[in-house]
Amino acid sequence: MGSRYGVRTRKRFREVQKIERQKHDCPRCGKKRVKRIGNALWRCSACGTEFAGGAYAPATTVGESARKVIGAIKQVGE
């Protein structure tokens, strides 16, 4: 890669890569076996569940807030 683009950009890239490459919790089985297989595509190696999430993390803050709003709307409808 070489030394390019400035220190701040390289640090941010390193942080994003660390989050992207670690194993995450599966939303279905709860095991820490979810890995990124493509842009915003995630797969659990334990149960085989594939799902769409964030580009670099399986769950984003925007997605979490949307999930809460949808849950509240469902409760009101019941």
Domains and CATH numbers, the chain: 7-77 (2.20.25.30)
CA 47 centroid distance within chain: 17
Condensed to tens digits (0 to 9), the pLDDT of residues 17-70 reads: 999 999 999 999 999 999 999 999 999 999 999 999 999 999 888 988 998 999
Token pair of 3, please? 């030394």
Residue 38 β-bridge partners: 41
Q: How confident is the model at residue 77 (pLDDT cuts 50, 70, 90)?
A: confident
CA 56 centroid distance within chain: 6
Q: How confident is the model at residue 14 (pLDDT cuts 50, 70, 90)?
A: very high
Residue 19 corresponds to which amino acid? I
Torsion sign across C-alpha atoms 40, 24, 26, 47:
positive
Residues contacting 45, CB < 8 A, separation 6+: 33, 34, 35
pTM summary value: 0.74
